[in-house]
Amino acid sequence: MIDLVLRSIAKGLLRLRYRVRVRGLEEVRARGTRGILFLPNHPALIDPVLVVTFLWKTFRPRPLADEDQISRWPLSWVARYVGMRPIPDIRTRGLDAAERIRRVIADCQAGLAAGENIVLYPSGHLYRSRYENLRGNSAAEQLVKSTPAARVVLVRTRGLWGSVFSLAGGGFPSLGAGMKKGLWALGKSLVFFAPRRDVTIELFEPEDLPRDAGRAEFNAYLERFYNEDAPPNLYVPYSPWEGGGRVELPDPPTRGPVAESGDVPEATRQIVLEHLRQRLEVNELRDTDRLSQDLGMDSLAKAELVVWLGAEFGQQVADVTALETVADVLLAARGEAMARRQVDLRPVPPGWFRSAGEGRLSPPAADSLTQALLEQARLSPGQVIVADQVSGALSYRGLLIAILALKPLIARLPGERVGIMLPASVGATITYFAALFAGKTPVMVNWTTGARNIAHALELLGVRCVLTARPLVARIEGQGADLGGVKDRFAYLEDLRRQIGVTARLWAVYQGYCDWADLERARPTEVAAILLTSGSEALPKAVPLTHANILANLRDVLGCYALYPHDRLVGFLPPFHSFGLSVTMILPLLGGMPVVYHANPTDAWVLARLIQAYRATIVVGTPTFLYGIVRTAEPEQLASLRIAVTGAEKCPERTYAALAAACPQLKVLEGYGASECSPIIAANPEHAPRPGTIGTILPSYEYAIVDPDTLAPVPQGRTGMLLVRGPSVFGGYMGEAASPFVEHAGSAWYRTGDLVTQDADGYLTFRGRLKRFVKLGGEMISLPAIEAVLEAHFGGEPDEGPVLAVEATASEEHPEIVLFTTRELDRREVNEHIRAAHLSALHNVARVVRVDEIPVLGTGKTDYRALRQRIESAQPARVG
């Protein structure tokens, strides 16, 4: 009875908008109603609802559905009632989802054998045009081959391309928003007078289905059926009062960013192409070859490719949609992969655009970050200040309520220090400030350095608990990382939230509106955050930054740059990144500037949409991320931007040129900093930026440019090492790390180890690093650390002289690590020893160069200058 009522209601509601005709059902039913695999096309979000509704009475099929889509009420209830099998999205979950997908497919095999009927969408995604494109997807092919006794029925739905639930409008559709629009239109049309969209559902059980064919032939057969006489993009009015009637519209443009892989170093190119040739068993590859359509790679194969990229190059690809062509794989090897995933954005709340005041943002006068946050919140408690696509938007009051609810749970965690391993997000912001108010010292955990470095840092700092989130951990493990050695310390925010009872939630709301005394009484520890930075050896160093350090740096920034309450910042750098913590998390909240977060900095399409939707005026990111956004976005999506702040690596000419072409109004302010300095040391002034320089030193610093050996000042225009001192500079590393300070002119100075020149106007230009470091993937990679590992395995006798040396190519954008050796060494074996020493894959050798001897100086030490000249002259004896 309940089943009949629900089916009648569903059909009744659907028929208010759709005139549905089902063809072929009787023919299929005549041959039996059990053990059938239905394979439909997927033109719109609504077609699974239509298909299941009109098949339910006869076949009661169990669909496979994206677990994220069916996890929200009321779809979650419908999913349970219908018996949907949830399937994770391998595009974002990586290999973590692969085994679960295999189990679901095996469950479907067993279900078909037992007489169940299954609905599986072969494409796994919505139409991008009027034609179905299965790409290299393999699920349908595998299931058909593994169940030879099962009947296969193809289902072709027509008439939905152009619907509000399709991609025909150019944006990603929302099931909820579409239903709201439909209900509003029904009201305007007096319900029964609404125009109806003609939809046909055709069932066809082919006799010539190529069950035993390869994937390409099998998918091509399905595509021919789905795409036969494909109807156009048709707009159907929503009310009889609309003029114009039904209109055929052009399909949306499918243009994506053109991957330009010409700058990828030759050694990296050869490593990638050789791997793809072996993996795909092909001889010739072009940069333009599409992984799915041309080379037959499905999502699982792409996920395995993501893991290989992480192991070989240390570059993390958060979404397999970033890998569409061979050129994309080459760029991913250099850390420049940009995802193409289309998502539905939450509506932007009207309060987001409501400015809280006039005039420039002023520096906070408080002595601690917690006091500064409370003072800013008092000025405008209702101001919407943070937002993301998971938590939505929160005002200052909403943020404090969340902090008040979480604070007691963090206070009960063991230890004085608590780890935080979260991406840029509202949740990370709440967790960080809740930890401060709870009297804990936050340790910002960098998950990209690998489990061994994480474990070392936690042991060094006595951290017994790390606050994190299951989706992040699943994503990290899905990229091939092994977190087994540290997972026992993880405390998941999802679990902590469930511990917040109704009484605690109501009390937090009361406090948020009426009584902030609990927060005002908080006494945070002197250290506001501990960051982990690269050391001269394999293990990271701990950098404690005090409240005074961070506030001094923020006062410099707000004093030098004209930022306003109507400015809006888009933040995507993770909070373990010193810029991510200070500039995109702390500065907006303490200054009163709204910030919208996105957890994945390579998700360029989503970031471009966020910039447009939230009318962001300021973007902060590395040159790589900024270039990814600008080469992906349409110019109108970036029209609101006025400032781009960049640093952490040299900003190349191509990024300046791309930003200037797409955003003529944009000022690019390149800067320079260090975690040890909270972090900004120098930046280009807004009124007179000079591309190619790192700007001028911030006013609170004293600085000197000196000879690296004698520490004597060098003349203007000459290259020297930069020394700085001031209130933003930390007090020294924790643990047994060597002091970074030197005595100069009667005072202690922080020794940056970086070489610069200064012009007559005070602008600095970065000239290189004194120590043998190379910057890869945003991390400082120690060449001596690599050399020490290899010496332990391949080194010669003491009187034999050096048998190997490690150097890097001179490129600031795409450096490669090169091993010179007098021995016959295989690059793969070399990198296996590097991995065995628990160095991250960023340390991997890209080239092995066989030489007759390693050049040495008169002192007997390796002559690295001669090796660099050899690399630059491109005259190695032989490359392995």
* Pair 215, 235 in one domain: yes
Identify the DSSP state of 600.
Answer: -
* Pair 180, 204 in one domain: yes
Out of 93-102, 190-199, 644-653, least confident range? 93-102
The confidence score (pLDDT) of residue 632 equals: 83
The confidence score (pLDDT) of residue 254 equals: 62
> Residue 878's pLDDT band (boundaries 50, 70, 90)?
very low
Last-in-domain residue among 738, 769, 800 = 769
The confidence score (pLDDT) of residue 879 equals: 42
- Residue 732: partners with Cβ closer than 8 Å, 6 or more residues away: 739, 740, 741
Q: Is the pLDDT of residue 719 over 80?
A: yes
**How large is the average pLDDT for residues 158-181?**
76
Q: Is the pLDDT of residue 771 over 70?
A: yes
Query: Helices 95-113 and 139-146 sit at what angle, rounded to 10 degrees?
Result: 40
Q: Establish if 559 belongs to a structural domain.
A: yes
> Residue 138's pLDDT band (boundaries 50, 70, 90)?
confident
CATH of the domain at 849: 3.30.300.30
Last-in-domain residue among 247, 280, 303 = 247
Are 203 and 25 in contact by the 8 Å Cβ rule? The answer is yes
Higher pLDDT, 794 or 243: 794
| Measured CA angle at 170 (ends 167, 176), to 5 deg | 55
* Pair 572, 719 in one domain: no
Q: Is the pLDDT of residue 256 over 70?
A: no
Which residue(s) pair with 37 in the sheet? 118, 152
HEC per residue, 548-577: HHHHHHHHHHHHHCCCCCCCCEEECCCCCC
Q: Are strands 392-395 and 441-444 parallel, antiparallel or unpaired?
A: unpaired
**How large is the average pLDDT for residues 397-402?**
97
> Residue 186's pLDDT band (boundaries 50, 70, 90)?
low
The confidence score (pLDDT) of residue 96 equals: 66
Are 718 and 757 in contact by the 8 Å Cβ rule? The answer is yes
The confidence score (pLDDT) of residue 876 equals: 42
Are 460 and 542 in contact by the 8 Å Cβ rule? The answer is yes
* Pair 779, 713 in one domain: no
Q: Establish if 37 belongs to a structural domain.
A: yes
* Pair 709, 779 in one domain: no
47-56, 350-359, 712-721, range with greatest mean pLDDT:
712-721
Q: Is the pLDDT of residue 177 over 90?
A: no
The confidence score (pLDDT) of residue 4 equals: 64
Are 417 and 423 in contact by the 8 Å Cβ rule? The answer is no
Q: Is the pLDDT of residue 536 over 50?
A: no
> Residue 191's pLDDT band (boundaries 50, 70, 90)?
low
Tokens describing residue 557: 């920034």
The confidence score (pLDDT) of residue 798 equals: 56
Out of 19-28, 155-164, 282-291, 535-544, least confident range? 535-544
* Pair 840, 822 in one domain: yes
Q: Establish if 809 belongs to a structural domain.
A: yes
**How large is the average pLDDT for residues 609-634?**
91
pTM, 2 dp:
0.80
CA distances, 556 to each of 590, 699, 701 (Å): 14, 7, 9
Are 445 and 576 in contact by the 8 Å Cβ rule? The answer is yes
CATH of the domain at 555: 3.40.50.12780
**How large is the average pLDDT for residues 96-111?**
83
The confidence score (pLDDT) of residue 95 equals: 62
Q: Establish if 323 belongs to a structural domain.
A: yes
Q: Is the pLDDT of residue 258 over 60?
A: no
Q: Is the pLDDT of residue 15 over 60?
A: yes
* Pair 740, 779 in one domain: no
* Pair 396, 520 in one domain: yes
Q: Are strands 541-546 and 527-533 parallel, antiparallel or unpaired?
A: antiparallel
For 478, half-sphere exposure in the C-beta direction (CA atoms, 13 angstrom radius) is 29
The confidence score (pLDDT) of residue 136 equals: 75
Q: Is the pLDDT of residue 605 over 90?
A: no
Q: Establish if 793 belongs to a structural domain.
A: yes
**How large is the average pLDDT for residues 525-529?**
97
Q: How many CB atoms lie within 10 A of CB 879?
A: 14
> Residue 643's pLDDT band (boundaries 50, 70, 90)?
very high
Last-in-domain residue among 594, 609, 644 = 594
Higher pLDDT, 863 or 599: 599
CA distances, 731 to each of 396, 546, 607, 722, 838 (Å): 32, 9, 37, 18, 29
Higher pLDDT, 567 or 72: 567
The confidence score (pLDDT) of residue 521 equals: 94
Higher pLDDT, 320 or 400: 400
Higher pLDDT, 870 or 726: 726
Out of 85-94, 619-628, 804-813, least confident range? 85-94
Out of 40-49, 230-239, 431-440, 615-624, least confident range? 230-239
* Pair 233, 305 in one domain: no
Query: Which residue type occupies 553?
Result: N
Query: Which residue type occupies 693?
Result: T
| Whole-number Å distance between alpha carbons of 183 and 189 | 10
Lookup result for tokens 């406090």: 511
| Whole-number Å distance between alpha carbons of 841 and 311 | 5
What's the whole-number average pLDDT of the chain?
Answer: 86
* Pair 365, 228 in one domain: no
* Pair 386, 472 in one domain: yes
Q: Is the pLDDT of residue 83 over 80?
A: no
Higher pLDDT, 121 or 856: 121
Identify the DSSP state of 10.
Answer: H
Query: Which residue type occupies 698?
Result: L
Number of domains in the chain: 5
The confidence score (pLDDT) of residue 318 equals: 67
Question: What is the residue range of 815's domain?
Answer: 773-873
**How large is the average pLDDT for residues 227-244?**
81
* Pair 476, 397 in one domain: yes
| Whole-number Å distance between alpha carbons of 561 and 564 | 10
The confidence score (pLDDT) of residue 298 equals: 75
Report, in this order, helix, strand and coil percent for the chain, each rounded to 5. Answer: 40, 20, 40
Closest by CA to 319, choosing from 155, 45, 10, 90, is: 90
HEC per residue, 799-819: HHCCCEEEEECCCCCCCCEEE
Out of 298-307, 595-604, 655-664, least confident range? 298-307
> Residue 875's pLDDT band (boundaries 50, 70, 90)?
very low
Q: Are strands 720-725 and 702-706 parallel, antiparallel or unpaired?
A: antiparallel
Q: Establish if 47 belongs to a structural domain.
A: yes
CATH of the domain at 713: 2.30.38.10
Q: Establish if 436 belongs to a structural domain.
A: yes
**How large is the average pLDDT for residues 851-862?**
78
pLDDT tens-digit profile of 360-386?
898 778 999 999 999 999 999 999 999
> Residue 628's pLDDT band (boundaries 50, 70, 90)?
confident
Are 421 and 432 in contact by the 8 Å Cβ rule? The answer is no
> Residue 262's pLDDT band (boundaries 50, 70, 90)?
low
**How large is the average pLDDT for residues 429-433?**
98
Q: Establish if 329 belongs to a structural domain.
A: yes
Q: Is the pLDDT of residue 244 over 80?
A: no
